[in-house]
Amino acid sequence: MEGFSGLGRLLVLLGIVLVILGLGLWGKLPFLGRLPGDIRIQRDGFTFYFPLASCLLLSVIVSLALMLFRK
């Protein structure tokens, strides 16, 4: 039964990640993509966008979640 405990944790973590991604794509996380540190360059007919701060924030959140579920 020990193997199912790990599988259960994995499924819960996957569900949490999918909910966060779904809310982000649905537009319910308005701060995501508009944080200070996100790079946006607009020129005539050209837009470059790199969400650096948003990627760092998501990385920290996912890392903390993984650390909590490993114990």
Residue 1 confidence class, pLDDT cut points 50, 70, 90: very low
pLDDT at 46: 92
The answer to whether residue 15 scores a pLDDT higher than 60 is: yes
pTM of this structure:
0.56
Two tokens, residue 41: 């360059």
Q: What are phi and psi of 42, to 5 degrees?
A: -120, 130
8 Å CB contact between 37 and 53: yes
Distance of CA 3 to the CA centre of its chain: 27
Instruction: Give the domain extent around 23.
Output: 2-70
Choice between 52 and 10, residue whose per-residue pLDDT is larger: 52
Domains in the chain, number: 1
Query: Comparing C-alpha atoms, which of 28, 37, 27 is closest to residue 59?
Result: 37
